[in-house]
């Protein structure tokens, strides 16, 4: 017991407010970056699917160009990208430290990742559903927003949970250059000052945040899956309402 208490020797009345402020900063950085990443990555992912050779509106040269850009950005490790875009961050934000400055490299690193997640989700849509929409005279745009996205929604939501947790881990790494949040606290106290107990608490908080995001994503994805609703409504082998479906 004494060893356990002595492990947290650096925890005092200022620690919890500091960790709370760092948690809020991390959540702000993560969700703002995720929002911006999806603003750019979602339409980019749709374009990658639609303009492919087997897409609903093939434009091969555009597909290859977009794929090349996405692959280039995804191939750069985040830590290197974080440092490489410091001049761009300074030009846009006016500074290279703090929570707002962290959003720029996070956005650049994450929107290509989001685009690939969206592409992977849309590719999973059954070709028969798309062909049925074609046969009824649907336009490519109608197929995108009435068939592709609704049919892929559960997979898109699962992908979003993965994307947000990945961006959260990136935000922690940005603490190396003073990006703010829990990563910054872990670097300053856990690494530079050897206060392992503070770093341990930041790791616990990051794990808890990831678990919450993943749980919300999984629950939301299941709730939006029409196949699960159909099985729950018909019951096993279509013999009646499933016992787990509720009243």
Instruction: List pLDDT tens digits, range 151-162.
Output: 999 999 999 999
What's the confidence (pLDDT) of residue 244? 43
pLDDT band for position 192 (cuts 50, 70, 90)? confident
247 belongs to a structural domain: no
94 belongs to a structural domain: yes
What's the confidence (pLDDT) of residue 131? 86
The number of domains in the chain is 1
Q: Is the pLDDT of residue 229 over 90?
A: no
* Model confidence pLDDT, tens digit, residues 77-134: 998 998 899 999 999 998 888 888 899 999 999 999 999 999 999 998 888 888 888 8
Q: Which CATH number is 111's domain given?
A: 1.10.3720.10
Helices (H), 76-143: 78-84, 86-93, 99-123, 127-135, 140-143
Task: Single out the residue of 241, 222, 223 nearest to residue 231, CA to CA.
Answer: 241
Question: Pick the residue with more confidence: 86 or 15?
Answer: 86
CA angle in degrees (0–180, nearest 5) for 42-209-149: 20
What's the confidence (pLDDT) of residue 185? 87
Full residue range of the structural domain in which residue 144 is found: 2-131+139-217
3-state SS, residue 159: helix
239 belongs to a structural domain: no
Q: How many CA atoms lie within 13 A of 83 on its CB side?
A: 5
Q: Is the pLDDT of residue 8 over 80?
A: no
């Amino acid at each position: 017991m004494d060893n356990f208490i002595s492990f947290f020797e650096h925890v005092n009345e200022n620690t919890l407010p500091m960790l709370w402020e760092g948690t809020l900063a991390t959540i702000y950085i993560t969700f703002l970056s995720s929002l911006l990443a999806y603003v750019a990555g979602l339409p980019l992912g749709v374009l990658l699917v639609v303009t492919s050779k087997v897409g609903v509106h093939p434009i091969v040269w555009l597909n290859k160009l977009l794929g090349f850009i996405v692959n280039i950005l995804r191939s750069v490790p985040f830590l290197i990208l974080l440092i490489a875009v410091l001049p761009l961050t300074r030009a846009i934000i006016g500074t290279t430290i703090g929570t707002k400055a962290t959003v720029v490299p996070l956005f650049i690193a994450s929107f290509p990742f989001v685009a690939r997640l969206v592409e992977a989700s849309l590719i999973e849509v059954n070709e028969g559903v798309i062909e049925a929409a074609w046969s009824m005279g649907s336009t490519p745009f109608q197929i995108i927003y009435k068939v592709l996205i609704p049919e892929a929604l559960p997979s898109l939501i699962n992908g979003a949970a993965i994307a947000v947790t990945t961006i959260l881990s990136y935000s922690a790494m940005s603490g190396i250059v003073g990006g703010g949040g829990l990563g910054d606290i872990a670097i300053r106290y856990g690494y530079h000052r050897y206060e392992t107990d503070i770093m341990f608490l930041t790791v616990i908080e990051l794990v808890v945040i990831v678990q919450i995001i993943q749980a919300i994503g999984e629950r939301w994805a299941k709730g939006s899956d029409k196949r699960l609703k159909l099985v729950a409504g018909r019951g096993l082998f279509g013999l009646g309402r499933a016992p787990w479906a509720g009243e």
